[in-house]
Structure 1
Amino acid sequence: MEQLQVGRAKLTWLNGGVSFLDGGAMFGVVPKALWAKKYPYNEKNQIELRADPILLQIDGKRFIVDSGLGNEKLSQKQLRNFGVIEQASIEKSLVELNLSVEDIDAVLMTHLHYDHANGLTKKVGENTYISQFPNAIIYTSAIEWNEMRNPNIRSVNTYFESNWQPVEEQVETFADELEIVPGMRLIHTGGHSDGHSILVFEEGEDCFIHMADIMPTHAHQNKLWALAYDDYPVTSVHEKESWMAYGYDKEAWYTFYHDAYYRAIKFNHVGEKITEVARVQYPYK
């Protein structure tokens, strides 16, 4: 498991599963001739996407950033349509770190689409689900939590009742931003979804910015490259423009949940890569 130390924050990437989605959908209106230079694709025009939560250890607390694809949460049709070839092994990842799901103090949800929220609950019977992290507070924006429970005609296929009903007593929401510990904030941005949030940590000269699905991979660095999946792509573009400028000025680390090749990249003042944490490539099960 890859790790990164940023100030007093230690980040460890867990195994949340992997899928292959259409490259055109992931890069929206960007021509393939451009995005294909930035990110590999297969013969079906699909690109590999991780769904790997970040274990964040700071100030004696243990946080999880998003929750992976889960297990036994998707039908065979969904597994096929979403290109899922490996489901999550979060518990196994934690055991390797001498931890368990009971040790997690909070789950920081950037948004609640199935590929980020499936791991919040686990199946224990034919149609029964319980909390995966029973002792954790689950933080998400109030807008996202409302849409999760009241999806519209477009979002109903990505917000699942099995991901929110078993954990609703654990959920705490915020409006604009929420400081989790000193220097670390969940900040509502909108864009990818109406309630989408990013995570920003600052301590002196040390900084990391987790852009979630506003910049899901390193290949989405260009501020104009928005996903076809974005509900509000113009908002995504403006938010990315703002937070990339902010991070470049601080030479911040940018961390990734979906990227199959990089866990984190640090950019300089003009957006050039300074250093990186590459993902170790393992064969699939």
Structure 2
Amino acid sequence: MESLQIGEIKLTWLNGGDIHLDGGAMFGVVPKPLWSRRYPNNDNNQIQLRTDPILVQAGGLNMLIETGIGNGKFDEKQLRNYGVTEESRVEQNLREIGLSAEDIDYILMTHMHFDHASGLTKREGGEWKPVFQNAQIITSRIEWDEMQSPNIRSGNTYWKENWEAVAHLVRPFDGEKQILDGIMMVHTGGHSDGHSIIVMEQGGELLIHMADIMPTHAHANVLWVMAFDDYPMESIIQKQKWMSYGLENKAWYSFYHDAYYRAIKWDKSGKQVLQELKRKR
């Protein structure tokens, strides 16, 4: 498990599962000859995407960014369509470092699409139960409202089995939410109407978790947004804002979906890599 230190904040990537989605959908209007130079695809034009939660330890608290794809959430057709080759090992990973699901204090959900939220619940005795029974689940109010009442487009990604059993644990916020000193969630919209990013700043170090408005290192170009984005122009606007701020301040950028990098720090131009944390493959 790879780790990164931001001041006194420790980040550790866990194994949330592996999916493969269409490369064209992941890069939207970007021509394949361009994006395929930066991120490889298989014979089915799919690209490998991790769904790896980040354990954040700070101020005596244990937090997760996202929860992976869980276990037993996909039927045979979904396993095939989403190219699932591995399900979650989050609980096992926690045990390996001396923790349990009960030790998680907060879950920071940038948004609640199935590939981020399926690890919130598991089936026990024929019912869906919370995996992290003691955790407060933090997400934007806009996201939480849409998850409960999805529209005709979002209904395929907001699943009842991922939210009904944890509704009593959800603490929605408006605009911004300071989790603790040095850790802030900021609503951006873009990928979904309620999408948020996470900003960590401590000890002279800055990290920005852009979530699905920059799902991989290959999406660093502000114009490279997904066809999955509900509001692509808002994704571009927010990427411009947070890439400008981050590059000027030598920020780390961390990833949930990237199969090759956990985090990267670019120079001010955004073209030269200053530091990198690769995923062990």
TM-score normalised by L of structure 2:
0.99
Q: Spell out, residue by residue over 1:133-167, the C-alpha distance to the aligned partner (whole angstroms, 9 max, x if none).
A: 00000000000000000000000010000111000
**1:66, 1:35 → 2: CA distance?**
26
Matched letter for residue 192 of structure 1: H
Q: 1:202 Cα deviation (Å)?
A: 1.1
Alignment-derived partner of residue 239 in structure 1: 238
**1:77, 1:123 → 2: CA distance?**
20
Matched letter for residue 117 of structure 2: A
SS of the residue corresponding to residue 86 of structure 1 reads coil
Show the 5 A alignment for 1:178-217: 178-217=177-216
What RMSD over aligned residues (CA atoms) do the two structures have, in Å?
0.7
Alignment-derived partner of residue 97 in structure 1: 97
Q: Spell out, residue by residue over 1:206-237, the C-alpha distance to the aligned partner (whole angstroms, 9 max, x if none).
A: 11000000000000000000100000000000
Structure 2 contact 9–202 (Cα < 8 Å) conserved: no
Q: Spell out, residue by residue over 1:46-89, the C-alpha distance to the aligned partner (whole angstroms, 9 max, x if none).
A: 10000000000001100000000000011111111111111101
Structure 1 contact 73–123 (Cα < 8 Å) conserved: no
**2:160, 2:80 → 1: CA distance?**
21
Structure 1 contact 205–250 (Cα < 8 Å) conserved: no
1:274 paired to 2:274: yes
**2:3, 2:149 → 1: CA distance?**
37
Alignment-derived partner of residue 262 in structure 2: 263
Alignment-derived partner of residue 218 in structure 1: 217
Matched letter for residue 37 of structure 1: R
Alignment-derived partner of residue 54 in structure 2: 54
Matched letter for residue 52 of structure 2: D
Q: 1:205 Cα deviation (Å)?
A: 2.1
Alignment-derived partner of residue 37 in structure 1: 37
Q: Spell out, residue by residue over 1:73-125, the C-alpha distance to the aligned partner (whole angstroms, 9 max, x if none).
A: 11111111111111101110101111000000000000000000000101113
Q: 1:204 Cα deviation (Å)?
A: 4.5
Alignment-derived partner of residue 171 in structure 1: 170
**1:92, 1:180 → 2: CA distance?**
26
Matched letter for residue 124 of structure 2: V
1:106 paired to 2:106: yes
SS of the residue corresponding to residue 52 of structure 1 reads coil
**1:218, 1:264 → 2: CA distance?**
8
Alignment-derived partner of residue 152 in structure 1: 151
**2:182, 2:6 → 1: CA distance?**
12
Alignment-derived partner of residue 136 in structure 1: 135
Structure 2 contact 6–203 (Cα < 8 Å) conserved: no
TM-score normalised by L of structure 1:
0.97
Contiguous gaps of at least 5 residues in structure 2: none
**2:191, 2:184 → 1: CA distance?**
19
Q: 1:175 Cα deviation (Å)?
A: 0.6
Q: Spell out, residue by residue over 1:189-210, the C-alpha distance to the aligned partner (whole angstroms, 9 max, x if none).
A: 0000000000001125211000
Matched letter for residue 135 of structure 2: A
Alignment-derived partner of residue 13 in structure 1: 13
**1:27, 1:201 → 2: CA distance?**
27
SS of the residue corresponding to residue 159 of structure 1 reads coil
Matched letter for residue 178 of structure 1: K
Contiguous gaps of at least 5 residues in structure 1: none
SS of the residue corresponding to residue 44 of structure 1 reads coil
Matched letter for residue 200 of structure 1: V
SS of the residue corresponding to residue 102 of structure 1 reads helix
Matched letter for residue 88 of structure 1: S
How many residues get paired? 280
Matched letter for residue 205 of structure 1: G
Structure 2 contact 208–246 (Cα < 8 Å) conserved: yes
Matched letter for residue 103 of structure 2: D
**2:4, 2:213 → 1: CA distance?**
21
**1:125, 1:255 → 2: CA distance?**
37
Structure 2 contact 66–117 (Cα < 8 Å) conserved: yes
Please identify runs of 4+ aligned residues in structure 1 that moved more than 2 A.
Answer: none
SS of the residue corresponding to residue 85 of structure 2 reads strand
SS of the residue corresponding to residue 280 of structure 1 reads coil
**1:58, 1:266 → 2: CA distance?**
21
Matched letter for residue 243 of structure 1: W
